[in-house]
Amino acid sequence: MSDGRASGGFGIFTVDVEDWYHGLIRDPDRWAACEDRILGPTEHLLGLLRSTGNHGTFFVLGSIAKRHPELVRRIVEDGHEVGCHGYQHISLKRLDPAQFREDLERALAALREAGAQEVVSYRAPFFSLERKAGWALDILADCGIRIDSSVFPMRIGYYGSARARNHPHLAGRIWEYPVTLPSFGGLRLPLAGGFYCRFFPLSWTLAGIRYQLSRGAEPVFYIHPWELDPEHPRITVGRFLTYRHYLRLDRTEQVLRELLQRWRWRSLRECHAAREEGARREGWPGRGAAHAGR
């Protein structure tokens, strides 16, 4: 069960704290009518992390922090990092710079009010911080964000970029930690996280993570609380999206248990602090650092 725990490597565990409808229904005016189910599965996720001695980054939507400040406090009390996932869960492709800044500032205020003291990490809804939305990096830095994890380095469906770098690097004033993918002979495969860990066989996901760790990379895993809640309402929103969303939700828990028991996981902030500490010790500036696993 613990083939990587003794090896010293860590994975980066991330959670996008949004409810089941935020990615399914694009019109925010319809969200008020949807059943609020965020508390149960998020608590369940916190329990899995606690029982396996792992930590992660919880990218919390500002609107959820506003509605459930006690949830943010629970995340903080358990020793996890609270990051920002925007206020309304709107793709950056649908926001201009002024709207983006307003959404971000509103989200950060809600997170602070709920008890998250210093928020330095950000993930854009729908991995939508792509090359064309590069203007967002300056706004993030202006608002105190130092780490971004909004880039999916492979094009699939409506998101991701095949040309994006597949390792942590400095982008302007922000450190970019993409959702690093195992790369086999130049072929990147999305094995760890969300839909992909429900779509591919579990053995593939485990092999991908093991491969990245063996090359000194820190695999980034991401999950949503609703993926641990197979009973949430079923709606149809187009074949592709409906398939992705509801596929084998009853498998998520098994995947998480395997991952959390086999390897050690930490937050983005912890990972970045370790990287900076290592760079200091070696007298290495660490800027634009190369990283295994590209």
The residue ranges that bind Zn ion (CB under 5 A) are 16, 18, 125
CB of 122 to Zn ion, least distance (A): 12
Q: How far is the CB of 158 from Zn ion (least distance, A)?
A: 13
Q: Which two tokens stand for residue 220?
A: 């980034």
Of 120, 165, 125, the closest CA to residue 147 belongs to 120
Query: Is 175 or 222 the residue whose CB approaches Zn ion more closely?
Result: 222
Output DSSP code: residue 164: S
Residue with smaller CB distance to Zn ion, 16 or 270: 16
- Residues facing 159 on adjacent strands: 156
Closer residue to Zn ion in complex, CB, 152/265: 152
For Zn ion, give the closer residue by CB, 125 or 193: 125
Residue 230's nearest CA partner among 247, 245, 250, 251 is: 250
Q: Which residues contact 134 (CB under 8 A, 6 or more apart)?
A: none
Name the residue whose CB lies closest to Zn ion: 16
Q: How far is the CB of 23 from Zn ion (least distance, A)?
A: 6
Smallest separation (angstroms) from Zn ion to the CB of 283? 39
Phi and psi torsions of 235, nearest 5°: -130, 160
Distance CA 31, CA 22 (A): 8
